[in-house]
């Protein structure tokens, strides 16, 4: 009897060990929060559009809930997925060389224009790149100088290294030389930019198109509008690519189903309805 029980213990131990070896580093990964949720962590740039996609997806089935929490940034999202704290992450930039050791798959799903926008009281619909530089450098201080209303310009900026600012600096080289001076109110996330526009109707700021509300009005840059046609053709230069990141061996059925939904006809329609250009699945 004792010999039989010992053999059963050995078999059980071997079975558990085998399961852990097969699952590898995914053993820490969960659907996050509860077994009935899939939490997608990362950048704030695509937070709003992913919330809309998640809401539509959640309405189509009741097996689990997709949750899109507040931003922790692309870098922290990559770390969280790379360290097996979460299964699926959201990013607004490529994976850097120093992050390659995580072994993550990068799957682009959309392109969103970074827009320069103005508040309700500005009454300006178009700016040149030179005028934008003039505003942010402090040389242009009133909307009347640009054909708008006689109101001082409230300038909203972003911190160095933030995704939208980095992408702007790649296309507008002189923008990279602008330091955040006293006339610039620095915020860190798109939702904070939105809050500033709700407070200051004389403002100018930059954020992703999918984050807009009724108090924020996109302007054309050098007479090119940030619409789907100009994004697809490449005429509008300021664009952020959104992507999911995950470990192939850890991708579960829940994450796979949501990714499939984003690339489906319904998912593409939601993206386009929010002025976000869907990309083909690689």
Distance from C-alpha of 159 to C-alpha of 163, rounded to nearest angstrom: 9
Of 112, 113, 94, whose CA–CA distance to 104 is shortest? 94
In Å, what is the CA distance from 262 to each residue of 54, 244, 281? 9, 11, 10
> How many CB atoms are closer than 10 A to CB 237?
19
Q: Which of 195, 198, 190 is nearest to 215 (CA)?
A: 198
63-102: per-residue pLDDT in tens? 999 999 999 989 999 999 999 999 999 999 999 999 999 9
List all residues 6 or more positions away from 281 whose beta carbon is below 8 Å from its beta carbon.
107, 109, 263
Pick from 183, 181, 210, 180: nearest CA to 194: 210
Predicted local confidence at residue 105, as pLDDT: 98
275: left (phi over 0), alpha (psi -120 to 50) or beta: left
Q: Which pLDDT tens digits describe the chain residue by residue (282 residues)?
A: 444 444 434 434 343 333 333 344 574 554 454 568 999 999 988 999 999 999 999 999 989 999 999 999 899 999 999 999 999 999 999 999 999 999 999 999 999 999 999 999 999 999 999 999 999 999 999 999 999 999 999 999 998 888 889 999 999 889 988 888 889 999 988 889 999 999 999 999 999 888 888 889 999 999 999 999 999 888 998 999 999 999 999 999 999 999 999 999 999 999 999 989 999 998
Q: Are residues 156 and 204 in contact, defined by beta-carbon separation less than 8 angstroms?
A: yes
Residue 14, pLDDT score: 41
> In a 3-state reduction of DSSP, which class is residue 56?
helix
Q: Are the CB atoms for 103 and 24 separated by under 8 Å?
A: no
Q: Which domains does the chain have, with CATH numbers?
A: 27-111+241-278 (3.40.190.10), 113-233 (3.40.190.10)
Between β-strands 126-127 and 184-187, what pairing exists: parallel, antiparallel or unpaired? unpaired
- Kindly report the pTM of this predicted structure: 0.79
Q: What is the pLDDT of residue 28?
A: 55
Q: Would you say 61 and 67 are in contact if contact means Cβ atoms under 8 Å apart?
A: no
Q: Is the Cβ–Cβ distance between 117 and 204 less than 8 Å?
A: yes
Integer Cα distance of 241 and 33 in angstroms: 28
Pairing of strands 217-218, 88-91: unpaired
Secondary element (H or E) of residue 80: helix 74-82
Sign of CA dihedral 86, 90, 94, 96: negative
pLDDT tens sequence across 135-171: 999 999 999 999 999 999 999 999 888 888 999 999 9
């Amino acid at each position: 009897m004792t010999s039989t029980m010992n053999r059963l213990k050995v078999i059980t131990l071997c079975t558990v060990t085998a399961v852990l070896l097969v699952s590898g580093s995914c053993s820490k990964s969960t659907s996050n929060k509860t077994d009935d949720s899939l939490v997608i962590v990362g950048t704030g740039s695509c937070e709003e559009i992913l919330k809309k996609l998640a809401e539509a997806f959640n309405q189509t089935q009741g097996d689990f809930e997709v949750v899109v929490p507040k931003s922790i940034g692309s870098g922290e999202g990559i770390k969280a997925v790379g360290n097996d704290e979460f299964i699926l992450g959201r990013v607004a930039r490529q994976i850097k060389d120093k992050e390659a050791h995580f072994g993550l798959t990068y799957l682009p799903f959309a392109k969103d224009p970074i827009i320069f926008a103005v508040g309700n009281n500005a009454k300006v619909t178009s700016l040149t790149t030179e005028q934008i530089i003039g505003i942010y450098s402090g040389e242009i201080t009133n909307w009347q100088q640009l054909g708008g209303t006689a109101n001082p310009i409230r300038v909203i900026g972003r911190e160095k290294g933030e995704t939208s600012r980095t992408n702007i600096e790649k296309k507008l080289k002189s923008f990279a030389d602008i330091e955040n001076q006293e006339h610039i109110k620095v915020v860190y996330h798109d939702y904070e930019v939105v809050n500033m526009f709700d407070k200051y109707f004389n403002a100018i700021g930059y954020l992703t198109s999918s984050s807009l509300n009724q108090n924020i009005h996109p302007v054309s840059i050098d007479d090119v509008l940030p619409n789907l046609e100009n994004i697809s053709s490449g005429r509008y230069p300021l664009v952020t690519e959104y992507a999911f990141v995950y470990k192939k061996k850890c991708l579960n059925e829940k994450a796979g189903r949501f990714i499939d939904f984003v690339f489906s006809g319904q998912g593409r329609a939601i993206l386009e309805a929010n002025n976000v250009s869907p990309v083909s699945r690689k």
